[in-house]
Amino acid sequence: MIQGFRRRPKETELNITTFMNLMVILVPFLLITAVFSEITTLQLNLPQPGAFADEPQKPKLQLELIIRGNDLLINNAVGKAIERVAGSGGEMDLKALSAALYKVKLSNPDHTEITLLLEQNTKYERLVALMDTVRSKMIASGITTEEVVMFPDISIGDAPDDEEVER
Amino acid sequence: MNMPRFAGRAASIRKHGRGVGLNLVSLMDIFTILVFFLLVNSSNVQQMPNSKSVKLPQSTSDRLPEETLLLLVNQEHILVQGQPVVRLAELEGGEEVLIEPLLKELQHHAERNGLMQVGAAPGEVTIMGDREIEYRLLKRIVATCSLANYSSVSLAVIRKAREKV
């Protein structure tokens, strides 16, 4: 009795074999099913039939963004062109666009709609990048940055063919 | 050189009655951490088909996808709920805006979901488009969706971290 008691203490060990079995199965399973690139969505505004008919009065701002190659033009469809953002180095200048739109947002804080007018061969990727820029802006305040919602109600349309709007 | 080690080992076996067990403590630690990490990660898995043929554009949007009709546009086909409907090669050079086979398929789905009745709420559709497709094609797809009363359109994108300022 005493002999057995003396011999045992060093020998006791947790039996982890079943736990290991579980882990070995679980880890590959979870690794396979894990989603590392998360899919999210962007909402697109489509004009509802008859939506324009019962609008109470003509809005004073109908914001448009015309994309022509790498050049962007912020335009008010019921007024004058607001600002032109020229592209540089074969790319659109999204930072300048963001800054220009933020100015528009500051003077029209309640406005949330914008229409992107695209050329026929504009790449989808570019459209999404523009939607991102137009939707919101990150403003640095102290050490943190906060997201400012700009124009989240985005519609798309064809860019006008000629230069008439760009006077 | 090796003699003493073997001798020691033999002595150890004699003393403990068996070989020295593998030290699994660190392996267990890794596994435990990994399992919890993966469990937490996979808790919000969305059932989105992970198609290799489509390279989604990246966006900073954080709106989660919903269970909707899924329209997949890759470089060759338009697929509705995983079923190929139109070859893109057939659409090239077409003048009309609507895509007939797609419209037929969408109306079929709309009928099944009760969207064709008068006053029905607009159906929702998620478009997973390749980042290389052109606006020309996207416009036709969206117009077709809209005509089949699928006028709540979401664009699927891959989430990316937001650039500072």
Show residues of chain A in contact with B30, CB under 8 Å.
Answer: none
User: What distance in Å separates the CA atoms of residue A127 and residue B47, rounded to the nearest whole number?
Assistant: 25
Is A37 part of a structural domain of the chain?
no
User: What distance in Å separates the CA atoms of residue A132 and residue A89, rounded to the nearest whole number?
Assistant: 21
Residues B128 and B78 in one domain: yes
Show residues of chain B in contact with A65, CB under 8 Å.
Answer: none
Contacting B residues, span 87-146, partner chain A, CB-CB under 8 Å:
122, 126, 129-136, 138-139, 142, 146
Is A2 part of a structural domain of the chain?
no
Per-residue pLDDT tens digits for A87-135: 777 788 888 888 888 888 888 888 888 888 888 888 888 888 888 888 8
Residue B93 sits in a domain of what CATH number? Answer: 3.30.420
B3 vs A154: which has the higher pLDDT: A154
Per-residue pLDDT tens digits for B30-47: 888 988 888 887 766 556
Count of domains for chain A: 1
Per-residue pLDDT tens digits for A65-95: 888 888 888 888 777 778 888 877 778 888 8
Q: The domain containing residue B142 runs over which residues?
A: 58-159
Is B165 part of a structural domain of the chain?
no
Residues B38 and B69 in one domain: no
**Which of B12, B48, B54, B61 to probe by mutation at the A interface, max A CB count within 10 Å?**
B61
Is A79 part of a structural domain of the chain?
yes
Is A49 part of a structural domain of the chain?
no
Residues B24 and B102 in one domain: no
- What is the pLDDT confidence band of residue A61, given thresholds at 50, 70 and 90? confident
Residues B64 and B100 in one domain: yes
Q: What was the pLDDT predicted at A167?
A: 44
Average the pLDDT over A31-58 and give the result. 69
Residues B17 and B81 in one domain: no
For residue B110, give the nearest of B96, B125, B99 by alpha carbon.
B125
Residues B31 and B68 in one domain: no
pLDDT beyond 80 at A19: yes
User: What distance in Å separates the CA atoms of residue B156 and residue A43, rounded to the nearest whole number?
Assistant: 9
Of B21, B38, B63, the CB nearest to A31: B38
